[in-house]
Structure formats: structure tokens, C-alpha cells
Amino acid sequence: MKKTMIALAMVCATGLTMTITGLETAQAAGKTAAPAQDLVIKGKKPAIFSHAKHAALGLDCGSCHHDAKHQPVTEAAIAALGKTDGLQCASCHNAKFADPKLQKPMDVFHARCKTCHATGVNGKKGPTGCIACHTAAAAAPAQAETPAAAPAPAMKKRKAVEGC
């Protein structure tokens, strides 16, 4: 029994070491992974956002994420962050933000996302109508207790959020 426990502890320690080393190597190489699942951007009318769809179009992190001087944030800079909480728009775009037109996250998303969707990337335009992002799945009641960018619930039939 003792030998089994010691062997199990050694396997766990080896696995943990390899995982930590792999993460450090990825961070050193400037590699980070965007969330694999769709995110729900909460608010009065929650919206769904897919990093995977945007990355597939060839957009990099700096296409959306920027620093206080409005310079694009690189994948390496994001990998160097311990936590990614500061990447959420509302971490800066709030009541303290200098430009009153960009204090509400909704205004930031509508300005940034709708403009990009209308202009397009690599010849492909995105949706600009409400129901493309503001879906019934995004507005699920469970979202009331989730952080600002939580994994999205399973996709259901798309319906416009009332009043959009």
C-alpha cells in the first residue's frame, strides 16, 4: 500500500511538473489560448462571442484587445499576464473612463464590433443585426450570477432578446 501511494505521488508530481513547464514554455514563446467555448458578455441584453470564429478569420488578439494608450495587445503580452481579468472591456470602459461615450461596455461593443462587422475582414462581413449576438441562449436566467465573460450555455434556436 505504501509503495502504491509513493508511486502515485511520484506520477502526480511528474505530471504537475510537466504541466507547469509546458505552461511556462508556452508563455515564454508568447503563446496563449483564447477560450475554446463561446463567451456570454453579460449586461441588460447579454450577447454571445466566439473567439474561435474570429481567430479563424485571421484576427489576432490586438484586433480587439488594446492597452490604455489604445495600442494593440499582443498574444505574448496576454500570455505574460497572470490573470486575464484586465482584458475585459469593462475593466477600463466604466464610469471612470475619460470619454463618456465609451463608458458603457455596450457602447464599446456596438462601436467596435458593428463597425468591424460592417467593414469586414478578408472579404467576409459579420452580422450587424441584434439577434446574431443577442440570442435566447445568451439571455438564459443562469447568467445572472456569472462573471462578465462566462462560458455560454448550449446554443438554442436564435430569437431576438425582447426590446433589442
pLDDT tens digit sequence for 49-65? 999 999 999 998 899 89
Tell whether 20 and 40 lie within a shared domain: no
Tell whether 25 and 51 lie within a shared domain: no
Is the pLDDT reported for residue 15 higher than 60? no
The pLDDT of residue 28: 46
Tell whether 20 and 87 lie within a shared domain: no
Q: How confident is the model at residue 1 (pLDDT cuts 50, 70, 90)?
A: low
Structural domain count, the chain: 2
Tell whether 84 and 120 lie within a shared domain: yes
Tell whether 67 and 124 lie within a shared domain: yes
Tell whether 73 and 140 lie within a shared domain: yes
Tell whether 5 and 42 lie within a shared domain: no
Tell whether 40 and 2 lie within a shared domain: no
What average pLDDT does the chain have? 74
Here the CATH number for the domain that contains residue 103 is 3.90.10
Range of the domain at 21: 1-31
Is the pLDDT reported for residue 5 higher than 80? no
Global pTM? 0.61
In angstroms, the CA 84 to CA 77 distance is 11
pLDDT tens for each residue of 61-112: 899 898 888 899 888 888 888 787 778 888 888 899 999 998 988 888 888 8
In angstroms, the CA 84 to CA 31 distance is 14
The pLDDT of residue 96: 92
Tell whether 53 and 80 lie within a shared domain: yes
